[in-house]
Amino acid sequence: MSVLQRLQQLGIVLPEPISPLGSYKTLSVAGNQLHVSGLGPFENGQPMVGIVGDDMTVEQGQHAARLTLLMILACIEHAYGLDNLQRCIRLTVYVRATQSFTQHPAVANGASDLLQALFGADQLPARSALGVYSLPMGIPVEIDSIFELKPAGHDAVKRS
């Protein structure tokens, strides 16, 4: 089953992809790797705002991480097609949290649990999760990612 079919099966609708907030590209291809710019969580077209451990719970942070991954997927689908992805190689999850916050891995699971559902447990990425002091627009989570592209000439029929 393709990633798009799995998303549909899970009843997930991707958000509108956002445009860059400056002089960069959301996606940058290097060989068979797709580097994705740091992205954040949007709901109803608006960025989510908050600090995890202060005005947001761990569960709300997880939800923000999940929404961020959906934005990553939406941007990839818009520009390249999700079915050209082999797997995610690495995720870096920046959590805007209080100084005493310790549950960054739980927050990051909001993103990587969805990767597991889409790509399978044997295809999980390396991951880093850490707490930052501030983030663009006041978002609670920002995620960097690198994906591996399928070799050229893979079952491209699915994209037609």
Question: Which position among 48, 61, 104, 140 is part of the footprint of a copy of itself (CB under 8 A)?
Answer: 104
Task: Compare residues 62 and 158 and give the one whose CB is closer to a copy of itself.
Answer: 62
Torsion of CA 84, 68, 7, 126, to 10 degrees: 60
Instruction: Give dist(CA 7, CA 137) in Å, integer.
Output: 28
Instruction: Give dist(CA 59, CA 140) in Å, integer.
Output: 12
Instruction: Give dist(CA 22, CA 160) in Å, integer.
Output: 32
Could you say whether residue 66 binds a copy of itself (CB under 8 A)? no
Tell me if residue 87 falls in helix, strand or coil.
strand
Least distance in angstroms from the C-beta of 56 to a copy of itself: 14
Could you say whether residue 36 binds a copy of itself (CB under 8 A)? yes
Could you say whether residue 135 binds a copy of itself (CB under 8 A)? yes
Task: Compare residues 63 and 127 and give the one whose CB is closer to a copy of itself.
Answer: 127
Question: Which position among 56, 73, 91, 118 is part of the footprint of a copy of itself (CB under 8 A)?
Answer: 91
